[in-house]
Structure 1
Amino acid sequence: MTFTTRPEIRGSFGVATSTHWIASTVGFGILEKGGNAFDAAAATGFVLQVVEPHLNGPAGDLPIIFYDAKANVTKVVCAQGVTPAAATIEHYEEQGLRLIPGSGLLSTVVPGAFDGWLLMLRDHGSMSLRDVLQPAIDYARDGHPVLPRVSNTIKGLADYFAAEWPTSAAVWTPGGKAPEPNANFKNPDLAATYDRLLREAEDTASDRTAQIDAARKIWSEGFIADAIFDYLEDACVHDVSEQKNSAVLAREDMAHWSATYEDTLSYDYHGWTVHKTHAWSQGPVFLQTLAILKHFDLGAMDPMGEDFTHTVIEAMKLAFADREAYYGDPDHSIIPMEILLSDDYNAERAELITDRASLDQRPGVVPGLEHLAERYVERAARDFGVKNAAPQEPTMAHLTEKRGDTVHLDVIDRWGNMVSATPSGGWLQSNPVVPGLGFPLNSRAQMFWLEPGLPTSLAPGRRPRTTLTPSLAEKPDGTRLVFGTPGGDQQDQWQLIWFLRLVHHGLDLQEGMDAPLFHTMHFQSSFFPRQALPGEMMIEPNVGTAVIDGLRTRGHVVTVAEPWSIGRLTAAQRNPDGSLQAAATPRLMQAYAVGR
């Protein structure tokens, strides 16, 4: 008998799961009130902005993968804002920069999350914007028990806020003091912002759709935009570059952008079709790793064992090397995805995996784009000392309190509609709070390179190649599964390990989340200061000393994590008979699945 930390949620009415129990409960409450999965997901997302402000915010970034049961269609909502028209390499070099800072106004792209939620809600939801937004307003106005990690993050930045970002100090340290863990914490400015937005939208129109469109315009061109650009007009903000910089974001950038729909990118693997976003995110790396692993008998391996761990780690290294060489905004660069997912290409990639850990960066060679692979290897070695980079922790909010991270949610309703979303950015560490609005801007431009000629080179109007990567998978019998996790570069690693154990070893949703996780830090990080750690990996200790020792013998540089510290997975599944399952990781003691 397999024991888990909590029961897997089962039912047939609906399920909502997210990285915070309050948000999950709000989402399920929307289902109980007659809303569908799209209504519930939006309500959950807005509440996550309130209760996990160190991980996401209204001016952040948002990819969504959803399944519309009535239309029988799976789509992506791309709510990843683009770079401003004035965001040129030359401008940043004139500021004396070699890397785009990981915080501050120079790292700001067009805010995307708010418009993305409203686009999906307008076209696929059923409830009014007020019904969906009211729970977030209530928690911002009346308060919520602040997470210990939010408290610790604010405490660690309190002096910095007071000295450099006084508008943030006013919101996050009311009365000059950071909130204590589990204290009732309020953000009255954010509540007032959303309340005014609703009132103005409702004054504009009585029709549900028209109100949502009015709210989108108020956000991008009305009083919210006025507040943002009145602030940016003369703001010059200290950031991690240890200098003060001003924004390049302009009013026209925000007014002329809106979230869009896209087709998914998909791949067939052992009876499943897996849907991901395109190469403006790291989503395809999940699919590439599957394409490499097709050439190994994972089902014959112990899912917690040395062979499985080594094989998956080495496959991920190869796929992530291709991410660094070839991914970027497909609207602005040639992305050779057809080759990168092809059988012949990945058969050759699989042959590179031996019983030894590779310490080299090994992107594949794509005809006509060989220079991109060469430039990645040169850049990694020359600029960042990959061969002897100092160890650093991965981008996970629970390991490094001063970095932002991400949240995740999955929702399924009784009609079979499904939503998987990974909101991020606009966290309290990213930028000063915009005066009067109660939230900061994002810092997603740090994904770009200040080097011309790359798919990820900084240029106006480009989407940054993000790490945000929700997932949807389906089988021919009608089984559908939504899942994801926060974690920066680790998102597609933790999801992949969990998915492989489900597919090859039959672990159910909760069993897979309770199982020990691992990840590699071998490739260059997506986040400032962009280091790579050749051969380094992290693994939870409950795999046992024999596995850890065996990995070290193979040449892996193994860091053993604290127990129960890796991954923040959630997932939900609908079976052909209409029954539902949902699960959430016990790690950090805050994610929860709710349903019946």
Structure 2
Amino acid sequence: MMTGAIASTHHLATEAGADILRAGGNAFDAAVAAGLALQVVEPHLNGPGGDLPAILWKDGRATVLCAQGPAPAAATIDHYRAEGLTLIPGNGLLATVIPGAFDGWMLMLRDHGTMELAEIMAPAIRLAADGHPILDRAADAIAGLGAFFNEHWPSSAAVWMPGGRAPAKGGLFANPDLAATWRRIAASQGPTREARINAARDAFYRGFVAERIGAFMAEAPLMDESGRPHRGVLTADDMAGYRAHHEAPVTLEQDGWTIAKTGPWGQGPVLLQALAMLAGDDLAAMDPTGPDFAHLVVEALKLSMADREAYYADPDRVAVPMEALLSPAYAALRRAAIGGRADLTLRPGILPGHDAQVAQVRAMLDRLSLPEGAVYEPTMAHLSDAPRGDTVHLDVIDRWGNMVSATPSGGWLQSSPIVPGLGFCLNSRAQMFWLDRDAPCALAPGKRPRTTLSPSLAWHKDGRRISFGTPGGDQQDQWQLLFWLRHAHQGMDLQRAMDAPMFHITHMPSSFHPRTRAPGGVVAEESLPPATLTALEDRGHALTRAPAGSLGRLTAAARGAEGALTAAATTRTAHGRAIVID
């Protein structure tokens, strides 16, 4: 019997999780070990102060683990407006919501794992204490921000630029402050395994970590990309009240498969809406790199992303008509709106009873006069010099058939100044709120931002199951849609489906400050056939050619109907890795 399979965006995290599987741990133990390791080895893409959505498979059912922190109690539109803002900055103290990732990992370990907290945290502690070869992009991010850190965020300069210099690419980089924080948490005491994990949660959210975060946020204001310093609004009391939780996924059944995504507090249902629109098309007969396929997918994504803007938000605070958005009748109406030419308008559908809401969102976007262009994460670093963060992803399956698809993000080194003594910074997820009450995703205390984070898990009636995902901000569900269509409908194996030429749209407003959009915009790898690229331009798409192998960082793990395990990690980077353990 195979012991397990794991894939992630960094080989050291994959190895950490694989070691746990080899030691007898289950998928949830391995996912937590790998997830904490990713916070250390990809600090420009995620960190302990970030957030975590995951989809878990256990006992024959899928569950979403939501560790997306909400806005603090003092995060009101009136306060941010009084600070002179019309958009929430993409970095700095005002961009922070309650960090959810740590509580999410601990909840997964407590409720579904089997191993001790100290065992699971050991790989991350070792990497932080002893050091790891720093990735080129992390080193570049630090070097690019060096002057800013020195002038405005000295606590970040102290951690990321030891000795006053940015780390050399590939050089050994250690974070002793983070290692000390993790050691203290890993030593949490209690009479049982569960009690020790709960004590660790308390140390982070109701103990020394929360106290230091609260004190730091109350200190002098610090500079952010608005060009003015601001003081944060997150408090220790906000931290104390936070708990990650489990909830039901949003699902779509199609061609024997059930595909599970998070609720509309993430953008995951975008993928399901696009699939529902394409249900009547003979996708298997289409050339996966041809112009007809590319045009159809692009136009379906435009419509589903437009609905994201008009409807998606925290469903605990806003009535999101998810059932109607995924209904066959609505999908057919939206599919009928796709023509032979590129559409250049943002066209959310109008569901009964939501006419005024859609009109308000359109009016809000008109008032803001969003700049044209596109904000790219490091995955598309060749297209932007902006110091943006991104995301990581991991997939795990164990010998018992348990599965995890997780897309941790936030708390990257570019997002916020280091909290002195802790070795990590906070997130910038609040930038995804609008400072306009007409928007479903308007800022409000206790409300989750509508994020781009989007793990995926699917199962077939014949017993096959697959976990997959990718970093990439607004591109996550776009690249995953291509992967899924190529794998499930066009017969490619995991590796071929993720390595095939990628494309995505920049037509909708970006989820990241400064919320730009490029009407009709399509970014496509030059590895697509020249005839396809030319045909897209001829059909009116505003095409940007990207270098081959520059879009997407997918990973996946799958279990066959008879129990055979496979895994794959993108070849677009040198450091992703998949391991299948016999």
Shift of 1:482: 0.2
1:355 aligns with 2:337: no
Shift of 1:381: 3.4
The code of the aligned residue for 1:431 comes to S
Task: Give the structure 2 partner of residue 58 of structure 1.
Answer: 48
Task: Give the structure 1 partner of residue 373 of structure 2.
Answer: 391
CA distance in 2, matches of 1:429, 1:352: 40
3-state secondary structure, aligned to 2:450 = coil
1:414 aligns with 2:399: yes
1:15 aligns with 2:5: yes
Task: Give the structure 1 partner of residue 308 of structure 2.
Answer: 323
CA distance in 1, matches of 2:369, 2:571: 36
3-state secondary structure, aligned to 1:375 = helix
Task: Give the structure 2 partner of residue 5 of structure 1.
Answer: none
Where do residues 188-227 of structure 1 align in structure 2 (5 Å cutoff)?
Answer: 188-199=176-187, 201-202=188-189, 205-227=190-212
Whether the 8 Å contact between 1:149 and 1:398 is mirrored in structure 2 is no
Task: Give the structure 2 partner of residue 580 of structure 1.
Answer: 565
1:46 aligns with 2:36: yes
Shift of 1:240: 0.7
CA distance in 1, matches of 2:98, 2:555: 28
Query: If the length of structure 1 is used for normalisation, what is the TM-score?
Result: 0.96
Whether the 8 Å contact between 2:364 and 2:438 is mirrored in structure 1 is no
CA distance in 2, matches of 1:334, 1:489: 23
- Residue 166 (structure 2) aligned to one of 174, 178, 189: 178
Where do residues 57-76 of structure 1 align in structure 2 (5 Å cutoff)?
Answer: 57-68=47-58, 71-76=59-64
- Residue 405 (structure 1) aligned to one of 371, 390, 402: 390
Whether the 8 Å contact between 2:499 and 2:570 is mirrored in structure 1 is yes
Shift of 1:391: 2.8
3-state secondary structure, aligned to 1:424 = coil
Task: Give the structure 1 partner of residue 75 of structure 2.
Answer: 87
- Residue 29 (structure 1) aligned to one of 11, 19, 24: 19
Task: Give the structure 2 partner of residue 114 of structure 1.
Answer: 102
CA distance in 1, matches of 2:146, 2:401: 45
Where do residues 235-254 of structure 1 align in structure 2 (5 Å cutoff)?
Answer: 235-254=220-239
The code of the aligned residue for 1:181 comes to K
Shift of 1:427: 0.5
Where do residues 370-449 of structure 1 align in structure 2 (5 Å cutoff)?
Answer: 370-385=355-370, 389-399=371-381, 400=384, 402-449=387-434
CA distance in 1, matches of 2:369, 2:11: 40
Runs of at least 4 residues of structure 1 off by over 4 A?
none
Task: Give the structure 2 partner of residue 8 of structure 1.
Answer: none
Task: Give the structure 1 partner of residue 574 of structure 2.
Answer: 589
Whether the 8 Å contact between 1:270 and 1:503 is mirrored in structure 2 is no
Where do residues 476-515 of structure 1 align in structure 2 (5 Å cutoff)?
Answer: 476-515=461-500
CA distance in 2, matches of 1:371, 1:447: 22
1:466 aligns with 2:451: yes
Whether the 8 Å contact between 2:360 and 2:438 is mirrored in structure 1 is no
Task: Give the structure 2 partner of residue 7 of structure 1.
Answer: none
Shift of 1:234: 1.4
Whether the 8 Å contact between 1:380 and 1:532 is mirrored in structure 2 is no
Shift of 1:531: 1.0
Whether the 8 Å contact between 2:506 and 2:519 is mirrored in structure 1 is yes
Shift of 1:250: 1.5
Point out where structure 1 has 5 or more consecutive residues left out of the alignment: 1-10
Report % sequence identity. Answer: 54
The code of the aligned residue for 1:358 comes to D
Point out where structure 2 has 5 or more consecutive residues left out of the alignment: none
CA distance in 2, matches of 1:321, 1:350: 14
CA distance in 1, matches of 2:378, 2:157: 24
3-state secondary structure, aligned to 2:15 = helix
Task: Give the structure 2 partner of residue 101 of structure 1.
Answer: 89
Task: Give the structure 2 partner of residue 530 of structure 1.
Answer: 515
- Residue 125 (structure 1) aligned to one of 113, 128, 152: 113
CA distance in 2, matches of 1:137, 1:81: 24
Whether the 8 Å contact between 1:332 and 1:455 is mirrored in structure 2 is no
Cα deviations by residue, 1:195-243 (Å, 9 ceiling, x for unpaired): 01122x13xx141110000000111111111111121121311001110
Whether the 8 Å contact between 2:374 and 2:506 is mirrored in structure 1 is no
Shift of 1:393: 4.5
Task: Give the structure 2 partner of residue 276 of structure 1.
Answer: 261
Shift of 1:380: 2.9
Cα deviations by residue, 1:143-164 (Å, 9 ceiling, x for unpaired): 0000011000000001100000
Whether the 8 Å contact between 1:283 and 1:467 is mirrored in structure 2 is yes
Shift of 1:589: 1.5
CA distance in 1, matches of 2:281, 2:559: 29
CA distance in 2, matches of 1:309, 1:381: 29
CA distance in 1, matches of 2:365, 2:272: 24
Whether the 8 Å contact between 2:110 and 2:197 is mirrored in structure 1 is yes
3-state secondary structure, aligned to 2:523 = strand
CA distance in 1, matches of 2:484, 2:379: 23
Whether the 8 Å contact between 2:376 and 2:388 is mirrored in structure 1 is no
Whether the 8 Å contact between 2:213 and 2:235 is mirrored in structure 1 is no
Whether the 8 Å contact between 2:375 and 2:512 is mirrored in structure 1 is no
Shift of 1:525: 0.5
The code of the aligned residue for 1:125 comes to G
Shift of 1:297: 1.8
CA distance in 2, matches of 1:460, 1:226: 20
3-state secondary structure, aligned to 1:587 = coil
Task: Give the structure 2 partner of residue 135 of structure 1.
Answer: 123
Shift of 1:397: 4.3
CA distance in 2, matches of 1:156, 1:258: 36
CA distance in 1, matches of 2:526, 2:258: 32
Aligned residue-pair number: 578
3-state secondary structure, aligned to 2:435 = coil
Shift of 1:398: 4.6
Whether the 8 Å contact between 2:178 and 2:422 is mirrored in structure 1 is yes
1:566 aligns with 2:551: yes
1:168 aligns with 2:150: no
CA distance in 2, matches of 1:128, 1:111: 23
Deviates further, 544-553 or 292-301: 292-301
Cα deviations by residue, 1:235-259 (Å, 9 ceiling, x for unpaired): 3110011100011111211101110
3-state secondary structure, aligned to 1:595 = strand
3-state secondary structure, aligned to 2:396 = strand
1:258 aligns with 2:243: yes
Shift of 1:543: 1.1
Task: Give the structure 1 partner of residue 438 of structure 2.
Answer: 453
Task: Give the structure 2 partner of residue 543 of structure 1.
Answer: 528
CA distance in 1, matches of 2:132, 2:466: 31
